[in-house]
Amino acid sequence: MTDTTLAPATLPVLDFSRLSAGPAEAAAFRTELREATHDYGFFYLVGHGVPEELVDRVMTTSRRFFDLPEADKLAIENLNSPHFRGYTRVGGELTQGRIDWREQIDIGTEREPVALTADSPAYLRLEGPNQWPDALPELREVVAEWYAALTRLSLELLQAWALSLGADEHVFDAAFAERPSTLIKIVRYPGKSDPEPKQGVGAHKDSGVLTLLLVEPGKGGLQVEKDGEWIDAPPIPGAFVVNIGELLEVATNGYLKATVHRVISPRIGDDRISIPFFYSPALDATIPVLPLPAELAAEASGITADPDNPIFRTYGENALKSRLRAHPDVAARHHADLLPTAE
């Protein structure tokens, strides 16, 4: 297991309510937002206005899902879905080819499957319906409220980023306007230490635009890479952990960096609920590249060059790349034609 020693550093804490506290406070918030995601790619967000009652209900309902009998969860197993939706049992997802010690349900934007032709981009296969547990109908109801609340928050954040980078605040709106491809994961990390904790999620970057992460209070495990060291990012009461994805790195030519992060599993006898909300544009959307002000452009280091993880401007290509790698069993069952053939 990778060394889990933590560097003596912390992530910035930003107060979203400053955006509505007058022009000076709003401008200061935008500057802090830009600097936090230039320096770290991660921050805590407080003052976001998402009702505490909704947060509690989402967490409670998520816990009830994982408490269901195994048969009820496997009835919506993601192996049944060519769109990579539904329940993944412990050990059913990979990061960099290694097993992630977690179980989860993946929930995307609810749509009918696309009628595909021979010329259709492969990433359109991701569009389709979710799978919902018959044994817990309230999950669908609370997720719909969560989706609406976090979509509003995400759009306002994205507009604040645009202004902070010298662009029109609506420069990203078109990519999200009609067919966003937002993904919600509801994740449970069971305890696993024999003798050391295991890979809850391996080191990776997010493939979309931004992520809002809700973590069960008092449950650590998230770590963020900074200057070659790992920074611990335990939950702060009432806060989301926010990070940018690869598409904001593309949009700013590397001025903002999608940051590598990982999750260490809890020890035996404990577990952890985590709910990331991946705010993502339409599958066929191409993220605009912003003409940065000169002083920011001078600090833009270009898009990360990694032959094992190419970053694409079209979101669907990024998303499909991630799903095929993470769920090789689903890929083999439904998308074998997209997999490399042995020579």
The answer for residues whose C-beta is within 8 angstroms of residue 116's C-beta and 6 or more apart is 124, 125
Tally Cβ neighbours within 10 Å of residue 31. 11
Cβ neighbour number for residue 265 with a 10 Å cutoff:
24
* Predicted pLDDT at 164: 97
Question: Where are the chain's structural domains?
Answer: 13-337
pLDDT value of residue 72: 97
Kindly state the tokens that stand for 137.
């109908």
d(CA 10, CA 258): 17
Question: Angle at CA 166, nearest 5°, toward 160 and 170?
Answer: 50
Residue 244 CA from chain centroid, whole number: 9
Mean pLDDT by 10 residues, the chain (343 residues): 42 96 98 96 95 97 97 97 95 76 93 92 96 97 97 95 96 86 93 70 84 89 89 90 91 92 83 93 90 95 77 85 91 93 50
Look at residue 302 in the predicted model and tell me its pLDDT. Answer: 87
pLDDT of residue 218: 80
How confident is the model at residue 18, as a pLDDT?
97
pLDDT, position 73: 97
Closest among 214, 253, 315 to 38, alpha carbons compared: 253
pLDDT of residue 341: 65
13-337 maps to which CATH number?
2.60.120.330
Q: What is the pLDDT of residue 193?
A: 65
Tokens 């109908």 locate to 137
| Alpha carbon separation from 217 to 56, 59, 116, 159, 248 (Å, rounded) | 10, 10, 44, 29, 29
